[in-house]
Chain A
Amino acid sequence: MKLSKKWLNDYVKLNITDKEFASGMTLSGSKVEGYEEEGSELKNIVVGQVLSLERHPDSDHLWVCQVDVGESEKLQIVTGAQNLKAGDHVPVALNNSVVHGGQKIKNGKLRGVESFGMLCSLGELGLTAHDFPYAIEDGIFVLGDDCDLTLGKDIREAIGLNDVVTEFEITSNRPDCMSVVGLACEAAATFDVPIEEKEPVVKAGEGDVNDLLKVTIAAPELCYRYVGAVVKNVRVAPSPRWMRERLRASGVRPINNIVDITNYVMLEFGQPMHAFDLRYLEGNQVIVRLAKKGDKITTLDGIDRELEDDMLVIADAEKPVAVAGVMGGEYSGIMDDTQTIVFESACFNGFSVRSTAKRFGMRTEASSRFEKELDPNGCLRYLNRALELVQLLDAGDVVNGVVDCYPTPKKAVTLPFDWQWINNFIGIDLSEEEQKKILEKIDFKIENGMITAPTWRGDIEHLADISEEVARFFGYQNIPNRPLGGVASAARTPVQQLQILVSNTLLACGLSEVATYSFMSPKAYDKICLPADSKLRNYIVISNPLGEDTSVMRTTPLPSIMEVISRNYNNRNPEASVFELATVYFSNGTEELPTEKQVITLAMYGDKCSFFTLKGVVEELLEETGLKNYDVESVSDDPSFHPGRTGRLVVNGKELGIFGELHPAVLENYGVGTRVYAAMIDFNILFEERNDVKIYKQLPKFPASTRDIAAVCDAETTVAALEKTISKAVGNILEKITLFDVYQGSQIASGKKSVAFNLILRSPERTLTDEEADSAMKRTIEALKKIGAEIRS
């Protein structure tokens, strides 16, 4: 909302700087986004009068003018404009002046003739012909009688381009502040000055409006009030300068007196108005009704629109002539030959207006006000203001009377005035009188212990709402701060503790944390090569996504982390190791909320990465979480992963996660030309299976025996199988088994491999004898033989 300072001054007199005004209003609740002085970039431009013109001796289009700018010396100025004659008053940009757009003007020569400045067009002042309808845009701006023609006068003052425009952010609960009067009330209360409001006065005219117009509200739940008036013998003409100026400052383009009056009243009181040409109201009737299926209308913006049967329209006896509260019809609008008009000042249901405007994709000045629920009690007064302006501007002859349909007048909200409750709620200590004084400034009425809100304050429903009024004019800054007292738990939940542990461990392992979108493209499932019948494709679809790329909620974090890998690879980062605690979403149908699960997602590439680097990180993570008894199974059928380089983590029969090298087909789909290793670990299962109990085990008191053993077995035999066999055979004196070599090659038969382990044997009770150790090794050799592994000699 743009507020003109000149306009505001009609209502309140403030003796403060623009900055003080902005800051005061902001702190009382009307947030100022900024303020600007109109034409402030214009420098050193004054009113001048063309005394004479001569052809430039060396040009067939330039003129050499002698100009009087109120100094003793006349100025010679060369211009290319063709619309001047001697005696014209014009804006003169003197030496060292600045015109609109920041261009500097200096004395100079044009084709050899000296020019001491420049004569300005509307455009050079930042204006258009809408601001001065009698002027042309492609020539010099010849000032009219509505300007101050004092020679040498600063042009901004002379033409009224010197308003200060303050831009407010108005919150949706205060449509009353989307108006000059609304903000004037706030300003008066903020700066404690009186507000000067006048009742509009309409002089008696001719005839009776009831002979010319009939109004019916057929949908009273959507149209609270409709007030109509008629103006005959309309004289469409430009509005006077003061009105054009205020419209311009408010960001509205002046059109003609009738249109300008409707806009003026809307800006002044927040009440959207509409004007119809009575010629086109069939049967001289206004019927506010729901549209019928198939009804059509061409709106003022020239678009043909098909109406739906829940949309409110203004119709005549036959057809819709306006979309109620949103936009008028093109057909019944004001034209140059319009003679008789109907002014509409109505109040519509906000939800209905909002929904219609939204469906048509046209949020107009009118709809953006109506949608916030306006006060029907103001309709008549604002219509009278429009009629008063018609008479003031002599824009037509007002017909006596108005047609006012107001089936159910709006009642004011009245509440018990519990001023102590307000004190306690805000944490202040004001007397009843002090509160009363604040509230009466903003038109609340307090009588017999009851408080009544003005009906334009539709946001007031509860004492808490009234407490805000007290608080903001008392000043939020004046409420004493109180440090938070009492006791509360402040404990991290076990889930939060595990999240921290996981994150810290992975960071310590050198992986960086990433944050990826929760939604993705459904095509991502193809990119990670999931088959068409994969259960993961049962994703949740966003019904109104921004685009396909962000249209479904992920059921797997793999595509998200692959996007990260791909981006880093394509940005030529030589390596990347990343992780995310990513949430995935599984549908439970439309009657139940989805299941949201976290998946610890890891991915890495680069020279230092291998399958075993990844597995090392996974092992580190599992060790940190105290998870020991898990199995690793080889996975060859996951379409996203390399069939020979992928493992599954299984714990207590539950699938904890998967890790491995990604399938080359996936890498190709993401345009990644290097091997990538990734893992996904189910956070919930990790949480269930974690062991955060740590109990100290005594340090060994007796020496250990170490033995190395190398077994030759089928190349297919897994290290895990060998380890298991050895562990079982050695029994509980095995303290640690470490793989130290795997060999395949010329020394070994083909299809075989040699696997070597180092064993540490120890008893907690005594020193092991050589015999005990040897016999353990003997058992081991026998056991290995049984699974087809021979000791390498």
Chain B
Amino acid sequence: MKEQLEAMRRTAEEQIKNFNLRSELEAFRVSFLGKKGELTAILKQMGKLSAEERPAMGQLANEVRAYIENQLTEKSEELKKKELRDRLQKEKLDVTMPGERRELGHKHPLSIVLDEVKDIFFGMGFDVATGPEIEWDYYNFEALNIPKGHPARDTQDTFYITENMLLRTQTSPVQMRVMEKQKPPIRIIAPGRVYRSDAVDATHSPLFHQIEGLVIDEGITMGDLKGNLETFAKRLYGEETKIRLRPHHFPFTEPSCEIDVSCFRCGGKGCPMCKGEGWVEILGAGMVHPKVLQNGGIDPEKYSGYAFGIGLERIVMFRFEIDDMRLLYENDLRFLSQF
């Protein structure tokens, strides 16, 4: 019986070694160690043994059983590892194949940059105000120190609805509307559509967007205007950006200026984008004319302020190097999906 057990151990060991599948291993466990298994069958013969032999054989049988169980577990672990390895190997993918995408929509480039500009001004404490696109002549011109017959009207060819009602040519009327409603301190930007009777070409559109800004408080100076707009330029184009103010004329600000930023492409050395000048004009600004404050019901003796206007299309076109404004309003998906 001892030999039988030893032989059994050897065969079992041999068999276990050769198994390749865990299912075979399981079948073997049942056939060997199960209730009707070989080892059990041998143990059933224990009864025939003498009382002296029985403990030693019993011990040996248990040893064999433990040994084989151990072998089975080890083999099982090994096979499990191997199977995992095989599976992983089989599951290899060509990771260069394209992903299955859930397609998102594309924000319009005008919105992308406008949202960025809004965020910058939010961060500096500005609210976003709005006003009507169809405006009274009064708000668009008169109140802004541009009376009828003023030559500045020539540079803003206007679409009229009636003699006194028009499509606003600038977002500046929102300044007036805010001043009428709100007492200082005022700190707003007012983005929106504006209209001028310009035929469509690569750099003109009868409809475009401006972002108006207005700050009014006690003791506001041109130094604030410079500091504020320099911060804006740095946030929009990067910390190393510089601004340059050039005196200009707007009827509703005095002093007035146009503001250039150092070319964000060449850093000011001169390149095709800045036409070799190193500077790119991005906005107009100035100290709110005391007459305009008065028209808005704000005491110019007590308060002062500054205003600015940014052409959105211009900064969008610079940002994405778009060379034709028409693309922005044609809405071809081949264009929009690039953003």
* Interface residues in chain A, defined as those with a beta carbon under 8 Å from any beta carbon in chain B: 26-29, 31, 171-174, 350-351, 354-355, 371-372, 424-428, 459, 462, 464-465, 467-468, 471-472, 476-477, 479-484, 486-493, 496, 503, 506-519, 540-546, 550, 553, 564, 567-568, 571, 573, 576-579, 583, 585, 590, 593-594, 596
Contacts and interface: CB of A to CB of B under 8 A. Distances in A.
A540 B289 contact: no
B332 A481 contact: no
A519 B230 CA distance: 36
A590 B165 contact: yes
A424 B254 contact: no
Which 9 pairs between the two chains have the least Cβ-Cβ distance?
Answer: A427-B221, A427-B223, A29-B247, A468-B255, A171-B249, A351-B149, A488-B125, A476-B245, A481-B227
B187 interface: yes
B46 interface: no
Interface in B152-194: 152, 154-155, 159-162, 165, 167, 185, 187, 193
A490 to B, nearest CB: 5
Given A172-B249, A464-B287, A468-B247, A513 B221 contact: no
A514 B226 CA distance: 35
Question: Which of B108, B124, B185 lies at the interface centre, i.e. has the most chain A CB atoms within 10 A of its CB?
Answer: B108
Nearest to A550: B206
B47 interface: no
Interface stretch (B27-35, B61-69, B74-82, B128-136): B128-136
A484 B228 CA distance: 6
A567 B332 contact: yes
A542 B160 contact: yes
A471 B258 CA distance: 14
B151 A172 contact: yes
Given A172-B151, A490-B122, 15 more contacts: A172-B155, A468-B255, A479-B226, A486-B125, A486-B217, A488-B126, A503-B111, A507-B105, A512-B107, A518-B133, A545-B159, A546-B206, A567-B331, A577-B105, A590-B165
A31 B248 contact: yes
14 contacts: A31-B248, A425-B287, A464-B255, A468-B256, A471-B222, A476-B247, A490-B125, A512-B105, A515-B331, A517-B206, A517-B207, A568-B333, A578-B331, A593-B132
A596 B133 contact: yes
Contacts of B257: 476
Nearest to A483: B227
Nearest to A31: B246
Nearest to A545: B159
Nearest to A508: B104
Contacts of B167: 542
Contact of A468 (B227, B230, B254): B254
A27 B127 contact: no
A564 B331 contact: yes
Contacts of B245: 476-477
Contacts of B246: 26-27, 29, 31, 476
A492 B128 contact: yes
Question: Which of B155, B245, B254 lies at the interface centre, i.e. has the most chain A CB atoms within 10 A of its CB?
Answer: B254
A568 B337 CA distance: 12
A490 B255 contact: no
B102 to A, nearest CB: 8
A579 B128 CA distance: 23
Question: Which of A481, A518, A579 lies at the interface centre, i.e. has the most chain B CB atoms within 10 A of its CB?
Answer: A481
A491 B118 CA distance: 11
A593 B155 contact: no
Nearest to B187: A488
B126 A350 contact: no
A424 B287 CA distance: 12
Contacts of B155: 172
B254 A467 contact: yes
A423 to B, nearest CB: 9
A620 B148 CA distance: 51
Contact of B149 (A350, A486, A576): A350
B317 interface: no
Given A515-B108, A573-B333, A541 B161 contact: yes
A425 B304 contact: yes
Given A486-B185, A486-B217, A542-B159, A462 B248 contact: no
Given A471-B222, A516-B331, A517-B329, A426 B255 contact: yes
Contact of B334 (A481, A506, A571, A577): A571
Contact of A464 (B108, B221, B289): B289
A355 B258 CA distance: 29
B12 interface: no
B207 A462 contact: no
Question: Which of B123, B126, B134, B251 lies at the interface centre, i.e. has the most chain A CB atoms within 10 A of its CB?
Answer: B134
B304 to A, nearest CB: 6
A509 B287 contact: no
A786 B217 CA distance: 71
B244 A479 contact: no
B103 A510 contact: yes
B162 A479 contact: no
Contacts of A479: 222-223, 226
Nearest to B149: A351
Contact of B222 (A427, A492, A519, A594): A427
Interface in B211-230: 215, 217, 219, 221-224, 226-228, 230
Contact of B106 (A350, A491, A512): A512
B329 A515 contact: yes
A464 B254 contact: yes
B231 interface: yes
A513 B111 contact: yes
A426 B128 contact: no
Nearest to A472: B247
B125 A512 contact: no
Contacts of A517: 206-207, 329
Given A512-B336, A518-B193, A544 B291 contact: no
A482 B197 contact: no
Interface string B316-339: 000000000000111111101100
B161 A540 contact: yes
Contacts of A486: 125, 185, 187, 217
B199 interface: yes
B197 A546 contact: yes
A425 B332 contact: no
B108 A513 contact: yes
B279 to A, nearest CB: 10
A622 B269 CA distance: 52
Contacts of B296: none
Contacts of A490: 122-127, 187
A372 B155 CA distance: 13
Question: Which of A174, A480, A484 lies at the interface centre, i.e. has the most chain B CB atoms within 10 A of its CB?
Answer: A484
A507 B104 contact: yes
Contacts of A483: 227-228, 231
Contact of A546 (B199, B248, B337): B199
B290 interface: yes
A573 B161 CA distance: 37
B110 interface: yes
Given A171-B249, A484-B224, A471 B160 contact: no
Contacts of B102: 510
A514 B331 contact: yes
A585 B162 CA distance: 15
A624 to B, nearest CB: 14
A428 B255 CA distance: 14
A425 B135 CA distance: 31
A593 B247 contact: no
Given A427-B224, A508-B105, A593 B135 contact: yes
A487 B185 CA distance: 9
A31 B167 CA distance: 30
A428 to B, nearest CB: 8
A360 to B, nearest CB: 15
B125 A583 contact: no
Contacts of A576: 333
Interface string B281-293: 0000001011100
